[in-house]
A and B are shown apart, each in its own frame.
Chain A
Amino acid sequence: MSLSDARSTLGVPSLSARWRTVALLLPLAALNTGVFLVPMAYLLRLSFTARTPQGAFVEGSLSLDGYRYVAETPLVHDIFGFTLLFGVLVTALAVVVSVLYAYAAWRAAGGWRALLLGGAVLSLFTTIVVKLFAVVLVFSPRGVLNDALTELGVIASPLLLIDNLAGAVIAQLYIVVPYGVLAVYAVLSTLDDRQVEAALDLGADRPRVFREVVLPHARPGIAVAGIISFTWSVGAYPAPLLLGSGSEQTTAILVSQLLLTDFDWPAAAAVAVVTVAVVLTTLVVGLRRFASGGELLG
């Protein structure tokens, strides 16, 4: 097995070292080609087949049926509009919460820091389904939060926090915020304390240090948090399905419906391709604006 090989310790990679590198990269190349790139290409091909009422799609056909469906159905436009709005809304909220939380964890001492980080890691590694279940228990009209607020006399009647846009957004935040927190924290943990001390010594107060030292340093982390939140919210499926109402429909929900219920694969593939294109375009444009791409990938 190629695992038993180690890198050459020579300064310039020799020919055999180069072959070793290629051999070591083979498993990754095989996995990501065979299970990701080729299937994605297949999806693209599928989006150009003809629709038929007799089955999933017409084998070997070449047609723009799927894209025509996307372009000509007003409902699909609405769904794309909502999905983008949902993505932007969740991303904005998630980034604010993540920066605040990561900053608090970074500033906290020993035990408190471990507690805050532990909470984020626990939530990160908790399956989405359990988190959604928890959101239902806490935020529903007869749930823990409403019960507590009614009993304390803060509110007269329960707040409607599930089965609507609020529910979908809250649930999606539970999915993306832990990733955002850790992405920002990872960058903050490389910030030199002395830099902050110097700013404080020079007379800046904490909010000013936060704005002028911490935030600029955290930029790459904030970018990663934004990318993760946006990508996953545009592709949101379980959160809006379980905690939204019928009108919180995302393109992901539409894709699964077209594929599994309507058995209309060309349309499903076309919606999926357009969704991926939207995500990737937004990321590329966003990255150009925000930070250099190389920094983020490294």
Chain B
Amino acid sequence: MSCLAERRLRRWLFRAVVAALFGLLVLPLAIVVSTAFDASSVVTFPPTALSTRWIGELFRSPTWLRSLLNSLVVASGTTLVSMVVGTTAALALQGYDGRFRTVVVGLAVLPLLVPGVIIGVTLLTFFSRFGLQQSYAALVLAHSLWATPLTFSVMQSAFARFDWRLHEAALDLGASRVKAFRTVVVPELRAGLAVAALVGFIVSLQEFVMALFLSGPDTRTVPVEAWNSLRQSLDPLVSVVSTILLAAVVLLVVSAGALVGLDRFAAET
């Protein structure tokens, strides 16, 4: 009997710990969102009076609007670059195994194993030789370095799932390579392509450390702008942009989850 009671106690203890961890992980984000809708000009919790005052403020601030635009430009560029690089590399590895595959995957993953500050600093000194520091190109290239391993891995598993005999059949029926790829492979891989693109976009949208070093007054992204104002004081506008970023991420993750199922999405990225 006591053994059973002990087991039950242990089970509840385990649940309590997991619930606490989940709370610690998610509740702070909810608190940030709630402070965005507070009327007061200092950040407080619980909110004193409900208001959308600061949301309006944000859209009247040229600096914040500029940073939103910069984030969109850089994230779109990163999506494009990392999709092309990740997809072609995944396609190249189709049918290969062993050492060759390990080397290519290792090369792709390597930038993830170097701290962001180091890459940021390195690229700052390197790009400044060509006057490229603080440019969109610098940010897009740096973000692509981190987004590509992920688009690459998503596309690899998408290609691995695809039944290549369909492609073969299309060729046998007289389709050109281009046509076979466009009409047979791409539609089947639509979900995989969309998820890879979303992941690339999100990686760029949320990346902060490299952007801190590589952006200038005209190219600052939202996280960099938020960091700058956070270092001075707790600004309600930071709550608002944080909420916007969170909403964007939730939207993107939900659509990615709807495309392939959250389970697979979580396991693959």
Residues of A whose CB lies within 8 Å of any CB of B are 2-9, 13, 20-22, 24-29, 31-32, 34-36, 38-40, 42-43, 46, 97, 100-101, 104, 113-138, 143-144, 174, 177-178, 182, 185-186, 189, 205-207, 227, 231-232, 234-238, 242, 252, 255-256, 259, 265, 268-269, 272, 275-276, 279-280, 283, 294, 297-298
Contact = CB atoms under 8 A, between A and B. Distances in A.
Contacts of B197: none
A21 B103 CA distance: 14
Interface in B90-144: 91-92, 94-96, 101-102, 104-119, 121-126, 129, 141-142, 144
A182 B266 contact: yes
Given A4-B182, A125-B206, A126-B246, A31 B262 contact: no
Q: State the majority secondary structure of interface residues on A.
A: helix
Given A28-B107, A135-B28, A252-B118, A125 B91 contact: no
B45 A137 contact: yes
| Nearest 6 pairs of A and B residues by beta carbon | A235-B115, A24-B92, A134-B28, A127-B206, A252-B117, A39-B126
Interface string B46-86: 00000000000000000000000000000000000100111
B267 interface: yes
A85 to B, nearest CB: 16
B108 A28 contact: yes
B122 A242 contact: no
Secondary structure dominating the interface of B? helix
B221 to A, nearest CB: 9
Nearest to A32: B107
B125 A237 contact: no
Nearest to A17: B95
Given A100-B21, A117-B263, A5 B31 contact: no
Given A119-B25, A256-B121, A279 B206 contact: no
Contact of A185 (B89, B104, B267): B267
B197 to A, nearest CB: 14
A36 B31 contact: no
A136 B227 CA distance: 13
Interface in B139-178: 141-142, 144-145, 148, 152, 164-165, 167-168, 177-178
Contact of B223 (A116, A128, A174, A227): A128
Most chain A CB within a 10 A radius of its CB, from B107, B177, B238:
B107
A118 B258 CA distance: 12
28 contacts: A6-B164, A9-B165, A26-B88, A27-B88, A28-B107, A32-B107, A38-B126, A40-B122, A113-B263, A119-B22, A120-B25, A122-B246, A124-B269, A125-B202, A125-B252, A125-B253, A133-B230, A133-B242, A135-B28, A144-B31, A174-B25, A177-B25, A185-B266, A189-B263, A207-B10, A237-B116, A259-B121, A298-B102
A3 B95 contact: no
Nearest to A30: B85
Nearest to B114: A276
B182 A279 contact: no
Contacts of B107: 28-29, 32
B230 to A, nearest CB: 6
B253 to A, nearest CB: 6
Nearest to B30: A134
B180 to A, nearest CB: 7
B29 interface: yes
Given A25-B88, A28-B88, A43-B126, 8 more contacts: A6-B185, A34-B141, A125-B202, A137-B32, A177-B25, A235-B115, A272-B122, A276-B114
Given A119-B26, A130-B242, A177-B25, A2 B88 contact: yes
Given A42-B125, A120-B266, A182-B267, A133 B115 contact: no
A243 B108 CA distance: 32
A39 B128 CA distance: 11
B111 A134 contact: no
A268 B88 contact: no
A144 B116 contact: no
A134 B115 contact: no
B251 to A, nearest CB: 11
Given A185-B267, A298-B105, A237 B117 contact: yes
B195 interface: no
A8 B95 contact: yes
A238 B27 CA distance: 21
A27 B85 contact: yes
B124 A128 contact: no
Contact of B181 (A6, A136, A206): A6
B213 interface: yes
Contacts of B152: 28
